[in-house]
Amino acid sequence: MSSRILIEDATLVTMDENDGVIDSGNLLIEDNIIKSIFTAAEDTPGDVKVIPGEGKVVIPGLINLHNHAAMTLFRSYADDYPLMEWLTKKIFPAEARLTEADVYWGTSLALLEMIRGGTTTFVDMYYFMEQTARACQEGGIRAMLSQVFIGTEGCSEGFNTFEDAIKFIENWQGQDEGRIQTILGPHALYTCPPDFLKKVLKETEHLNTIIHIHLSESKFEVEESIKNFNKTPVALMDELGMFERQVIAGHCVHLNDEDIDILSKKGVGISHNPCSNLKLGNGIAPLQKLIDHGACVGLGTDGAASNNNLDMFEEIKLCSLLQKGTLEDPTAVPAKTAFELATRGGARALGMEGHLGVIREGAKADLAILDFKKPHLQPHNDPIANLVYSASASDVETVIVDGKILYNKGEFLTLDEERIYHEADKCAKKLRQ
């Protein structure tokens, strides 16, 4: 028998082609799909769970395009270091001590935080990815998972090889009723030389999967690439033919005009991660310029070690304010555009436009409901501006993924919150030593 949920009399921020907002709208979910949206009273089937929507705003579930979920264990573990020192002196040595259990509990903690904050889909890259997949399966979230690997000696090598990453894809692709999708995650150009990336590209074609990689994150990375290959990382990726495949590129901060042109023309999915870029002192990506060129951009948090939370509402607000401030232009990245990046933009980058990041009939029932009866979200002048400039993750009241309620009014329905805090803390304590 079908399961049905009816959200009654709510404000629906659809983010469809018209960027529409429907006041006093009703939304019927049947199984994992948005079955219908209507305003006039309609006969609803008897066996339906009703969620009263008065004073509530329903949004498409947010899409976090770049994360390392298990790094919640390193939240507030190493702050205020330069990027390369942070990586080589603090993060890589700690990661060398990681066990499968650490990744499982670290990811579970990230899932609590993401679900609690209205994120319904995330893209991840990390070690022991089967543990991340296990946690996602239990939590019920939608995930695009890549087991990270590198092609050079050193760094935190020794954990997962390219072959392990392929095995992970073979074992997990499409699991959990399709909520778990698997992708290939070569770490970055500075850890994966061109010849190795050619091998990766071949495998990507063979597995018919997409690529998730860090790209042009720091000035150092770009300078090294120019020194070694006489090309920017973006131009090098293009020359290697990587952009003939679907790519999700994390960061893309340091770009010249030619890079922006390549990324836009090739439809590369860019994860803009403003908090992490600021915190690691990497600068501010030319977001408005990318948007002007029609680039495919979404938002991500990056790992909690460099953020230090997984709150997508912060990224949404920050991405807009940073452009306004740096360009000295208050019209830069307006509210609708910023919110679109975290919803429809993310879906586009994943090749899931029309199915995720939107409220429309036939789309996946991945939704978040926010309680707007709060001082900072009143009055009701413009719900999208309120979502972008005034709301935060803690305003989320209910989260639905694939038609299932995962979180409602302070209660997690799939995850054991207390146990996760306890176990994650134990793991973090051990890793600190």
Least separation in angstroms between residue 315's CB and Zn ion is 13
Nearer to Zn ion, 6 or 305 (CB): 305
Q: How far is the CB of 426 from Zn ion (least distance, A)?
A: 25
Given 102, 259, 302, 311, the residue binding Zn ion (CB under 5 A): 302
Q: Which CB sits closer to Zn ion, 71 or 201? A: 71
State the minimum distance, in angstroms, from the CB of residue 331 to Zn ion.
30
Which of 5-13, 138-146, 296-304, 352-360 is the region at the interface with Zn ion (rule: CB under 5 A)?
296-304
Query: Cβ closer to Zn ion: 123 or 338?
Result: 123
Please state the closest distance from residue 53 (CB atom) to Zn ion, in A.
36
What share of residues in the chain are helix, strand, coil (percent, to 5)? 40, 25, 35
Three-class secondary structure of residue 179 per DSSP: coil
Q: For residues 121 and 356, is the Cβ–Cβ distance under 8 A?
A: yes
CA 176 to chain centre: 19
Q: Residue with the closest Cβ to Zn ion?
A: 302
Return the bridge partners of 296, or none: 269
Question: Do you find a cis peptide bond into 334, omega within 30 degrees of 0?
Answer: no
- Residue 30 or 157 having the CB closest to Zn ion: 157
- Please list, in sequence order, all residues whose beta carbon lies within 8 angstroms of the beta carbon of residue 325, skipping any fewer than 6 positions away: none
Contacts to Zn ion from residues 216-275, by CB under 5 A: 250
Instruction: Tell me the closest approach of the beta carbon of residue 95 to Zn ion, in angstroms.
Output: 13
Burial class (CB in 10 A: 0-12, 13-18, 19+), 49: exposed
Q: Quickly list H helices, 129-286.
A: 129-139, 162-172, 194-207, 219-229, 233-239, 257-265, 274-279
What is the number of helices (H) and of strands (E) in the chain?
16, 17
Of 8 and 302, the one with the shorter C-beta distance to Zn ion is 302
Print the binding letters for residues 36-65 with Zn ion: x by CB under 5 A, - otherwise.
Answer: ------------------------------
Nearer to Zn ion among residue 71 and residue 400 (C-beta): 71
For the CB of residue 367, give the shortest distance to Zn ion in the complex, in Å.
Answer: 27
Binding site for Zn ion (CB under 5 A): 250, 302
